[in-house]
């Protein structure tokens, strides 16, 4: 006998729903329905463990998803706890009345772990794609009649008996016009892989009832994923296979961190350090967040610090405080603790690798450097944990901790008198700055290689964190005392070059360099060059660089300018300037043209002789 009734709304629960019940993508309805099916099995499993129910011999827990393009339906069926007519009216017809919460409250002393469902509200997400939903359900309780419920999503429903013979619940979604794609097998398979890959019970999609010899129906998910296992039981190949299958990346990861803890909160997962595809930009990774093996979302910033989103990984945390949509986190201290713990574990792993396998650490550093430096810029605590294992390559090609280049600390009293820490020189482009690198090597001086896009920001950060111990100068910022003789000034040459460069934004200074082969070098104030680069980046006006041409009085060609014919001396001086400038930066079109014309005149003069 059928009867009709009105769907009742628990008003005290409506405001949280109105405020937070938001689905960014409607296809998430499938996750909600399948998650409800998983919860139904978990409830039955709990009763079985408590001895209140005995599972028939040979029966396995399973969820079956069936598509029907002709009927335009999508069906999800489980062999879980099932419902009585009274429970259907209680949990389905009262929106936002959580059956999971009710069950956990009843059995909380025995432990209600593994249930996160909000049955009733999650169920109604299916109406985003359905204009009619039917439920066929039979309770595990002996003697209870099977129940059929249906509603078109408006304020009325129909409930009555049905002839369902097996325990569990079947939800049949009659898809709305325009939503027929959800009756296609390949579409549903993709959604199950996205949202249900690690749900704890086997999920079968359109299983065949008749199988050929040797053929078998295979689940679309992995009920016991690698991250749920004890790290001691996992092999290196399993980690690599899991990475490839989960992230469709056929480049092997550098290494990984297996998270596995039960106190003060439950947290499992694997974070992978991928190989960097490009050094010139930050590549966003994919850290998938799960709750009891139910997919929540990718790269949730409350749980995963921003810099860790450069990694790939899976994190499952049953204790994260989700709201009813299972998509948005409520901010609380627990979430912050989880984020800090994950950061700490990453730092610990890096330190472990540095101390335990330095060779591998250095081999991986090109791929790790951007991630580590970005992490320091974003998180001071992370910097505090890894500052001593941040390495740079020197001019000999050897890696050394950057802190080993720092000088002695300048006291507050000396700082007041203008004393600065000893400079740490760096190279930003070995090929462009080859002339300077050669001079440094010949003088027995060292420098570090800073050739990634993040290094300019990072060295500024190091100066900020260590103001009395370090200041960085690019190798072309000034002439160090070790590169020059004590007295090398020459007023005549200085005047000659100044006159030749009249009208250009460049200062002239003469020095006697120890390397006599170099006629001149360009120096640019570190501070002014950084300002110039910042202005260029933000398009804030003209180049602010403070350029100085350092003329080498030890160079024979430079000395030969004394007494030379004025016109020819001017051309040679300009040629020396453009040659030095080209070692500092790429010449502009105008500079290249001027340099070419000067060289042409000089060659003509030479050939006339």
| The residue to which tokens 């294992």 are assigned | 389
Q: What is the DSSP pairing of strand 147-151 with strand 156-161?
A: antiparallel
Give the tokens for residue 73. 């339906």
pLDDT confidence band for 609 (50 / 70 / 90): low
Looking at 431, 453, 475, the residue that finishes a domain is: 475
3 state DSSP class of 549: strand
Q: Are residues 511 and 599 in the same domain?
A: yes
> Is the pLDDT confidence value at 18 over 90?
no
Which are the contacts of 34, defined by CB distance < 8 A and separation ≥ 6? 63, 65, 76, 192, 195, 196, 199, 203
Task: Give the lowest-confidence range in 252-261, 306-315, 539-548.
Answer: 539-548
pLDDT at 233 over 90: yes
CB 391 within 8 A of CB 400: yes
The reply to whether 221 falls in a domain is no
CA distance 149 to 90: 12
CB 552 within 8 A of CB 518: yes
Give yes or no for residue 116 having a pLDDT over 60: no
Among candidate residues 475, 495, 530, the one where a domain is terminated? 475
Whether residue 599 is contained in a domain is answered as yes
d(CA 312, CA 314): 7
Shared domain check, 377 and 396: no
Note if the pTM is more than 0.85: no
Q: Are strands 168-175 and 73-78 parallel, antiparallel or unpaired?
A: antiparallel
The total of other beta-carbon atoms located within 10 Å of residue 498's CB is: 17
The mean pLDDT value of the chain amounts to 85
12 preceded by cis ω (within 30°)? no
Residue 209 DSSP code: S
Higher pLDDT, 15 or 548: 548
Query: 220 lies in a domain?
Result: no
Which residues lie below 8 Å from residue 585, measured CB to CB, with a gap of 6+? 432
Residue 212 lies in a domain: no
Residues 428 and 441: beta-carbon distance below 8 Å: no
Q: What is the pLDDT of residue 298?
A: 85
- Residue 424 DSSP code: E
Residue 218 lies in a domain: no
Residues 394-424 have pLDDT tens digits of 999 999 999 999 988 888 788 788 888 989 9
Verify that 346 and 414 share a domain, yes or no. no
**Judgement on whether residues 271 and 378 belong to the same structural domain of the protein:** yes
> What is the predicted pLDDT for the residue at 392?
97
Q: What is the CATH number of the domain that holds 415?
A: 3.40.50
Least Cα distance to 498 among 507, 489, 488 occurs for 507
Give the DSSP per-residue string, 359-416: HHHHHHHHHHHHHHHHHHHH-HHHHHHHGGG-EEEBTTS-EEEGGGG--PPPPHHHHH
User: Could you tell me which of 359, 372, 546, 369 has the C-alpha nearest to residue 448?
Assistant: 369
pLDDT attached to residue 449:
96
Residues 492 and 468 in one domain: no
Residue 231 is classified by DSSP as G
Position 292 scores a pLDDT of 87
Q: 139 and 278: one domain?
A: no
Q: Are 412 and 467 in contact (CB under 8 A)?
A: no
Looking at the 3D structure of the chain, how many domains does it have?
4
Do 465 and 488 have their domain in common? no
Determine, yes or no, domain membership for 198.
yes
Domain-embedded: residue 16: yes
* pLDDT at residue 19, rounded to an integer: 30
Count Cβ atoms below 10 Å from residue 217 Cβ, excluding itself. Answer: 14
- Among 63-77, 170-184, 380-394, 490-504, the range scoring the smallest mean pLDDT is 490-504
The range of the structural domain enclosing residue 17 comes to 3-205
Please determine, for residue 41, whether its predicted confidence score (pLDDT) is greater than 90: yes
Q: Say yes or no: 155 and 40 in one domain.
A: yes
CA 276/CA 254 separation, integer angstroms: 10
CATH number of the domain bearing residue 166: 3.30.565.10
323 lies in the same domain as 411:
no
Q: Please check whether residue 280 lies inside any domain of the structure.
A: yes
Give residue 47's region: left, alpha or beta (phi > 0; psi -120 to 50): alpha
Write the CATH number for 317.
3.30.230.80
Q: Which of 293, 264, 318, 295 is nearest to 111 (CA)?
A: 318
Q: In terms of domains, do 427 and 303 share one? A: no
Clarify whether residues 290 and 149 are in a common domain. no
Among 429, 459, 475, residue at a domain's last position = 475
Question: Both 128 and 155 in a single domain?
Answer: yes
Residue 600, domain CATH: 1.20.120.790
């Amino acid at each position: 006998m059928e009867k009709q009734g009105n769907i009742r709304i628990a008003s005290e629960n409506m405001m949280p729903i109105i405020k937070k019940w938001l689905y960014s993508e409607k296809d998430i309805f499938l996750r909600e329905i399948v998650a409800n099916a998983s919860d139904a099995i978990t409830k039955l499993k709990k009763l079985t463990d408590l001895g209140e129910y005995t599972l028939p011999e040979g029966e396995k827990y399973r969820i079956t998803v069936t598509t029907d393009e002709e009927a335009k339906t999508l069906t999800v069926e489980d062999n879980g706890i099932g419902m009585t007519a009274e429970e259907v009216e209680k949990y389905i017809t009262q929106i936002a009345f959580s059956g999971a919460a009710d069950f956990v409250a009843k059995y909380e002393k025995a432990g209600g772990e593994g249930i996160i469902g909000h049955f009733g509200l999650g169920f109604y997400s299916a109406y985003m794609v359905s204009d009619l939903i039917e439920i066929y359900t039979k309770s595990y309780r002996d003697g209870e009649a099977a129940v059929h419920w249906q509603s078109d999503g408006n304020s009325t429903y129909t409930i009555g008996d049905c002839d369902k013979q097996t325990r569990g619940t079947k939800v049949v979604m009659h898809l709305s016009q325009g939503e027929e794609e959800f009756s296609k097998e390949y579409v549903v398979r993709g959604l199950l892989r996205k949202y249900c890959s690690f749900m704890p019970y086997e999920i079968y999609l359109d299983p065949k009832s008749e199988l050929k010899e040797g053929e078998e129906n295979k689940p679309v998910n992995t009920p016991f994923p690698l991250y749920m296992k004890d790290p001691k039981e996992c092999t290196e190949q399993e980690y690599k296979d899991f990475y490839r299958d989960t992230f469709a990346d056929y480049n092997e990861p550098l290494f990984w961190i297996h998270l596995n803890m039960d106190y003060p909160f439950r947290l499992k997962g694997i974070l992978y350090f991928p190989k960097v595809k490009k050094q010139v930009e930050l590549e966003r990774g994919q850290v998938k967040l799960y709750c009891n093996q139910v997919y929540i979302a990718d790269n949730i910033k409350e749980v995963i610090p921003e810099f860790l989103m450069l990694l790939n990984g899976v994190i499952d945390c049953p204790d994260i405080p989700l709201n009813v949509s299972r998509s948005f986190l409520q901010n609380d201290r627990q979430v912050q603790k989880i984020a800090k713990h994950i950061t700490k574990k990453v730092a610990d792993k890096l330190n472990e690798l540095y101390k335990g396998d330095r060779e591998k650490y250095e081999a991986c550093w090109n791929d790790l450097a951007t991630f580590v430096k970005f992490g320091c810029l974003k998180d001071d605590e992370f910097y505090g944990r890894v500052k001593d294992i941040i390495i740079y390559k020197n001019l000999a090609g050897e890696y050394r901790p950057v802190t080993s280049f720092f000088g002695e600390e300048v006291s507050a009293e000396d700082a007041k008198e203008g004393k600065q820490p000893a400079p740490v020189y760096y190279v930003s482009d070995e090929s462009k700055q080859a002339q300077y690198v050669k001079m440094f090597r010949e003088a027995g001086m060292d420098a570090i290689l800073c050739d990634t896009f993040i290094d300019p920001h990072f060295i500024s950060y190091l100066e900020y964190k260590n103001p009395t111990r370090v200041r960085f100068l690019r190798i072309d910022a000034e002439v160090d005392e070790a590169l020059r003789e004590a007295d090398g000034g020459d007023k005549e040459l200085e005047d000659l070059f100044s006159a030749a460069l009249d009208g250009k934004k460049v200062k002239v200074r003469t020095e006697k360099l120890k390397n006599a082969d170099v006629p001149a070098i360009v120096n640019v104030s570190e501070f002014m060059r950084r300002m110039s680069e910042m202005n260029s980046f933000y398009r804030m006006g003209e180049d602010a660089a403070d350029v100085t041409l350092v003329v080498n009085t030890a160079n024979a060609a430079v000395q030969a300018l004394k007494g030379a014919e004025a016109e020819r001396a001017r051309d040679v001086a300009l040629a020396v300037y453009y040659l030095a400038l080209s070692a500092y930066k790429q010449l502009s079109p105008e500079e290249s043209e001027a340099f070419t014309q000067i060289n042409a005149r000089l060659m003509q003069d030479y050939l006339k002789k």
